[in-house]
Amino acid sequence: MDRLVYEAATSGDVGLFRRIKDGDELPDVLYKKTPKDNNVLHIAAEFKQIKFFNDIPLEYGSSLFWATNKKGDTPLHVAAKVGCVEVVEFLIEHARKSLHHMERGDEERGPADGESQNKLLRVKNSDNDTTLHLAVRYNHDEVVIRLMEADPQLCCFTNKANESPLFLAVRKGTPSIVHCILRRTSLAFLLLFMGQTD
């Protein structure tokens, strides 16, 4: 990844897109990666640069939202880990809207069905952690609330260590997160049961 692009992503320099948009190099610049396979959105999420997300040309950015780094993290995993509610909300909304714009699904662009939002939320990294696992592990209450509102069934997934998000919250001693998950758990299990009876 070019140093200027990296610095633009860390600082939220949205002028980068305007400066190079008229040239043919914009897609090439956006798809460059760091040695850890982070793209510009991973970097912008890590540094909580919501302006960068708001200004990315979406015609180029769709596959960037779904891209994983060497740890299997999407930009949403990174945003959940650092506790950036604005970026988490942006990515959830983008996934929700993307199902209207996708005509077919593939590995680069993500799924094309009505479960687009939930599929992005449920992507597991190399430790089988979902975004909810990371938000719980790093004590980000607001992110946990947003993720559970978007997909209550997230609390049903376990990671490689066979830990559910609720187990992590109890073990960490975070009562507000435990309460949030428990409040929505009955709904998640009801939805899961209804899905199995169809």
Q: Could you tell me the domains of the chain?
A: 1-124 (1.25.40.20), 127-198 (1.25.40.20)
The pLDDT tens digits of the residues spanning 59-108 come to 665 788 889 999 999 999 999 999 999 999 999 998 887 654 544 444 44
Q: What is the pLDDT of residue 95?
A: 83
Q: What is the pLDDT of residue 130?
A: 97
Which residue carries 């980068």 as its tokens?
A: 16
Q: Are 178 and 145 in contact (CB under 8 A)?
A: no
Beta bridge pairs of residue 106: 110
Q: How confident is residue 125, by pLDDT bands cut at 50, 70 and 90?
A: very high
Among the residue ranges 11-15, 24-28, 109-113, the one predicted with the least confidence is 109-113
Task: Answer with the residue of higher pLDDT: 127 or 105.
Answer: 127
pTM equals: 0.84
- Tell me, what DSSP letter sits at residue 110? B
* Residue 139, SS3 per DSSP: coil
Q: Residue 111: CB partners within 8 Å, gap ≥ 6? A: 99, 102, 105, 119
Q: What is the pLDDT of residue 17?
A: 67
Q: Are 169 and 177 in contact (CB under 8 A)?
A: yes
